[in-house]
Amino acid sequence: MSPEARARAITGRFALLGVLAVLAVAGFMLLGLRGNWGFVLSIRTGKLAGLVLVAVAVGSATVVFQTLTSNRILTPSIMGFDALYILLQTVLVFSLGAMQTTALDARAMFLAETAMLLAFGGLLYHWLFGATARSLHLLLLAGIVLGVFFRSISGLLQRIMDPGEFLVLQDRMFASFNTVNHELLALAALIVGAVLVAFWRMRRVLDVLALGREAAIGLGVAHARMVALALGLVTVLVAVSTALVGPISFFGLLVANLAYLMFPTARHAVLVPAASLLGVVALVGGQTILERVLSHDTALSVVVEFIGGIVFILLVMRGGAR
Amino acid sequence: MIEVDGISLSYDGTPVLREVALRLPKGGVTAIIGPNGAGKSTLLSIIGRILRADAGRVTLDGMDLAQAPGREVARRLAVLRQDNHTSARLTVRDLVGFGRYPHSRGRLCAEDLAQIDRALEYLGLSDLADRFLDQLSGGQRQRAHIAMILAQDTDYILLDEPLNNLDIRHAVGIMTLIRRAAAELGKTIAVVMHDINIAAACCERIVVMKEGQVIAHDTPAEIMKAEFLSEVYETPIEVVAVKDRLLALY
């Protein structure tokens, strides 16, 4: 494909995604408007903001994570990042009690949890991605086992905690695009914005990192430092999306791989926005269809996980280590 | 000049390199040969900063490679590794363009584009420039990676078995190119290879490694001796002179 044809294809597909995203947003805001418009629109705006933030956070985090790990199967969720976040939250509610937890400022708590996630995650993944290159299958296995491990501890704590406290926790945890955590919206937007700016400034370094460790070092990139930095940013995005709507395992895998399919390039200046836009189209569009057209018959997360799970299996079967 | 001084490395207590000392003077092509497991690639990885040695140091024109800023080193030393695969969706031109990264940090200017075109042409890849890497044969991909190293335009170039996957025509082509780069552009090139005869024909000096040590470093005429080679490879090898070339028969 000639450079010109490639540039045209990329522009065209961005335009297509842009139109789809606008349609999804318009549909979400305007379909089935009844009663007090001002009131309905203000509620919908909050929800929309949450969905868009989650879509962008998960889409870009997954693309960058896959670049860092040089494969297209692993995602932060599959590696247990969000399970770790849930565990931290469970431990917090368990040790402080629901009363104290709800009394705490949601934003302060979110920041504290994110900091802990960074520290724990850093330690864990430093060991996993450490000095020697490990096999993809070992990593996958370790991630899945760790995820189960974190979820099991959370489960254990949730069973022995007071039912009332469990309700508080449950309210925060379950992936639901209907109950976006509104207190955090402004802070989340700020954080996602800052991380995106950082990714944008790193875009060319990320392009080089995608060549793999050895090539990156050969080209003079401070590999260890850059990977640690980018992994930290990814962790922050995972914390944001998990705090807003709870864990969604396969969503990132879905949009990242769609982005690779649609856009014939390896440039992060294209892939990161593409995955984010695809995320917006899928989340907002999906939610619109489910809510307004199918009138709430199914939870969007179930549909996303179902499709994402199938894609995951296909990728594994295709030997998607490439 | 690349100076390797007292480099040692062990994996789980098994020494792979044992106090290797080596001086590669500026200019010319040096072949690094030796049996499997001699530590050739490991030594190249240490010089290329991919592995860290347990002891010893490597300097390039007096600059300590372990301490120097990565970008500075990358503008003077390019390393081609043995297995190059990437999952990223790159065209040949994209890949070769990455060679310019140490100079341009990804913002390609006219000079970079000219270097990329020159490298593509050198390796006969101009027609394939807009193909994706996964649409190429193994040999074409190998040439694309060599083109990237050339585009990096460094004084020193290390190549780890660049002739892998290449047919005779392209193997000869690459060796001719390597000699030309050394002769015309004054580059210093070290090549790990297995074919003793190509090494003897194309290189000014040959470094022989065995069991984690450099056991000889000399001109091809001195290295190409039946008794010495038989001992190194633990296989009977004869050396004959054909049309003023020394050939090893095995």
Per mean pLDDT, which of A197-201, B71-75, B159-163 is the most reliable? Answer: A197-201
Q: What is the pLDDT of residue B122?
A: 82
Instruction: Provide the 10 A C-beta neighbour count for residue B211.
Output: 14
- Which tokens in the block code for residue B180? 């030309």
Q: Minimal CA–CA distance to B73: which of B62, B82, B81?
A: B62
CB A182 within 8 A of CB A242: no
How many A-B residue pairs are in contact by the CB < 8 A criterion? 79
pLDDT along chain A (322 residues), means of 10: 82 90 87 78 83 91 87 79 81 77 74 80 68 61 83 86 77 62 81 93 90 84 84 86 78 87 86 92 85 70 76 70 44
> b/e per residue, A123-133, with b = 16+ CB within 10 A?
ebbeeebeeee
Q: Compute the mean pLDDT over every residue in chain B, rounded to the nearest whole number.
A: 84
Q: Minimal CA–CA distance to A259: which of A3, A26, A24, A64?
A: A64
Q: Pick from A3, A218, A222: which is nearest to B48 by CB?
A: A218
CB A77 within 8 A of CB A250: yes
Residue of A nearest to B49 (CA): A217
Q: Can you tell me the distance from the alpha carbon of A310 to that of A308, in angstroms, rounded to the nearest whole number?
A: 5
Whose structure tokens read 């190429």?
B136
Inter-chain contact B152–A219, Cβ cutoff 8 Å?
A: yes
Q: What is the pLDDT of residue A210?
A: 87
Residue of A nearest to B47 (CA): A218
Q: What is the pLDDT of residue A321?
A: 44
Q: What is the pLDDT of residue B19?
A: 84
Helices B110-122 and B138-151, interaxial angle, to 10°? 140
User: Dihedral through CA A25, CA A29, CA A32, CA A33, nearest 10?
Assistant: -160
Whose structure tokens read 């301490």?
B67
Span B2-9, mean pLDDT? 85
> b/e per residue, B80-117, with b = 16+ CB within 10 A?
bbeebebbbbbbbbbbbbbbbbbbbebeeeeebeebbe
Looking at residue A109, its amino acid is: M
Q: What is the pLDDT of residue A275?
A: 93
Q: Pick from A3, A203, A266: which is nearest to B90 by CB?
A: A266
* The model scores a pTM over 0.90: no
Q: Pick from B94, B101, B107: which is nearest to A266 by CB?
A: B94
Q: What is the pLDDT of residue A174?
A: 58
Q: What is the pLDDT of residue A272?
A: 92
Q: Minimal CA–CA distance to A26: which of A288, A296, A279?
A: A288
A chain contacts of residue B133, beta-carbon cutoff 8 Å: none
Alpha helices by DSSP H, listed for chain B, are: 40-47, 70-74, 92-98, 101-104, 110-122, 138-151, 168-185, 196-202, 220-223, 226-233
Optimal mutation site among B60, B81, B89, interface A, most CBs of chain A within 10 A:
B89
Q: What is the pLDDT of residue A178?
A: 64
Span B148-156, mean pLDDT? 88
Optimal mutation site among A69, A211, A263, interface B, most CBs of chain B within 10 A:
A211
Q: State the DSSP string of B39-86.
A: SHHHHHHHHTTSS--SEEEEEETTEETTTS-HHHHHTTEEEE-S----
A186 CB-near residues (< 8 Å, 6+ apart): none
| Nearest-neighbour CA in chain B from A320: distance (Å) | 9
Inter-chain contact B89–A211, Cβ cutoff 8 Å?
A: no
- Which tokens in the block code for residue B64? 């300590």
Q: What is the pLDDT of residue A227?
A: 84
Looking at residue A33, its amino acid is: L
Q: What percent of chain B stands above pLDDT 70?
A: 99
Q: What is the pLDDT of residue B223?
A: 80
pLDDT in tens, B200-242: 888 888 888 888 888 888 887 788 778 887 888 888 888 888 8
| Nearest-neighbour CA in chain B from A139: distance (Å) | 17
Q: What is the pLDDT of residue A125?
A: 65
The ipTM (two decimal places) reads 0.83
pLDDT in tens, B80-91: 887 777 767 888
- In the three-class reduction of DSSP (H, G, I as helix; E, B as strand; rest coil), residue B215 is classed as strand
- In the three-class reduction of DSSP (H, G, I as helix; E, B as strand; rest coil), residue A177 is classed as coil
A chain contacts of residue B107, beta-carbon cutoff 8 Å: 204
